[in-house]
Amino acid sequence: MASTGPPQSLKRSDTSLTREGDQLIITPLGAGNEVGRSCVYVSYKGKTILFDCGIHPAYSGMAALPYFDEIDPSTIDVLLVTHFHLDHAASLPYFLEKTTFKGRVFMTHATKAIYKLLLSDYVKVSKFQLKICYMMNKTFFAPWIKLRVIDFHQTLEVNGIRFWCYTAGHVLGAAMFMVDIAGVRVLYTGDYSCEEDRHLRAAEIPQFSPDICIIESTYGVQLHQPRNVREKRFTDVIHSTISQGGHVLIPAFALRRAQELLLILDEYWSNHPELHNIPIYYASPLAKRCMAVYQTYSNSMNERIRNQFANSNAFDFKHISPLNSIENFNDVGPSVVMASPSGLQSGLSRQLFEMWFSDKKNACYTWVHYISFSAHADFAQTSTFLKELMPPNIIPVHGEANEMGRLKQKLITQFAYRNTNYFPKELSVG
C-alpha cells in the first residue's frame, strides 16, 4: 500500500553506480534527507537487500511508513535491521504481514530481545494509526518466527548475498552491516557512535574498505562537547538544584540514553555521601523490564561493565529506585526523577513538569538546561571514520537536507586529495 505524507521532493532519487556493466541501485525509501523512517533499498546483479524498516515519528498512520510503493517487496532477499529504535524498526510488522515480502530478516540477539518489548509497549500506548493495522492480525507477534539473529562478526549467506556485522555503539545491540554481492561490498552504518561511553563500546572500524559506504549524517558538521564536560555540566546543575531544595526532572526516552544517565547519577551519588538521603527515581516500566535484557547481554558492553559484572550487577543501582506512578510518589523534599516520555506530551514526565515547573528552584533538562548525551556520530567522528575506511563512494543518509549538504562540502574539502564520489550529486528540498 502506498504511503502518503510529506511532499515528493523529500524523497531522494535513486543512486546508481555502474560496475563492469551491471548497475547497482540504491534507493532511500526513508531518511534520504530527513531523520525518520530509515529504510534503504539496494539492488545488484538480481540480488536485493533492505536496510532497516522504521517509521517517521512526526507523521501518523500510513504517512509515517517508508515509501514501500516504490519497490516490489517480493523481490527482496534479505532485510537487515541495525537496532531497535522505532525510526529504524517499527514498520517491520507491517512490512512482514501486509506486503508481499517473502525474504529473511536478521538482527542481533540484543536488538531482537529489546525490540519485542519496545514494540509491544508502543502498540499499547500509541495512538498511531498503524496500531489498527497491527491489531487486525489476530496474532500480532506471529512475525517473530520470521526474525533470525546474527552474532557480531558472524558471516551468513542468503541466496548468494554474504553479510556480517560490526559493533555500532549507539545503543545495546546496534550493528553496522557489511554486505558482499559478487565481490562488491556495501557498508550500511545505521546509527553509530565512535565514542565509548559508560556502558557501550565504540563503533568498530571494519578491517577493509567497502566499495560504498551508506553513512548516517545526523549531526552533519556539528561537534559534540567532550563527554567529561557534558557529564560535569549535568551533575553540577543537579547538585546545585538539590542543594537549593529543588526537584530535578529529566525527561528521557526509556531506551535511548536513560541507562547511560542512570549510571552517571548512581556513580555521582556514591561519590557524594551528602546526597545519600536525596532519592533518585526512574519512572519507566519499559526501562525496568529492559534492565533484565541489559544484564543478559552485558558481554556485549564495554570492558568497564564486563569487569564490574564479574563482581556485581552494574545495573543494580544503589541509589536509584523505580517509580511506577505518581500515586506512589512521596513528593516531600528535593528529589531527582527520570521519567518518560521525553517530549513531555503525556504521562508521568508531563504530570511532574506541571507540578514543579512553576517553582524556580526546580530544574527540567528539556527546557531550562539542555545537555546532549546523543550517541550519534558528530563531524569529528564521521571524518575520522571515513579517513580510516577510505571508501571510494559515500552516500549520506539520516540527516536534514541542509546539514547533509554542509557535511558533503566539508568532506569534499577535507578529502580533496582522494578520488571519492559523493552521492547524490544534488539534494531536492523544495
Amino acid at 144: W
Residues 6+ apart with CB under 8 A from 275: 239, 242, 268, 269, 319
HSE at residue 270, side-chain half, CA atoms within 13 A, is 9
Distance CA 206, CA 213 (A): 11
Provide the greatest CA pair distance for the chain.
72
In terms of DSSP bridges, do strands 175-181 and 161-167 run parallel, antiparallel, or are they unpaired?
A: antiparallel
Phi, psi of 404 (to 5 degrees): -65, -40
CB atoms within 10 A of CB 200: 24
Q: Please give the grid coordinates belonging to residue 282.
A: 526512574
Distance CA 283, CA 301 (A): 24
Q: Please give the grid coordinates belonging to residue 190.
A: 545505521
Distance CA 325, CA 199 (A): 28
Place of cell 519496545: 118
Label residue 230 exposed, middle or buried (CB < 10 Å: 0-12, 13-18, 19+).
middle
Distance CA 86, CA 71 (A): 21
Phi, psi of 157 (to 5 degrees): -135, 130
What is the CA angle 64-68-70, rounded to 5? 125
Distance CA 242, CA 338 (A): 14
Label residue 138 exposed, middle or buried (CB < 10 Å: 0-12, 13-18, 19+).
exposed
Q: Which residues are catalytic?
A: 376
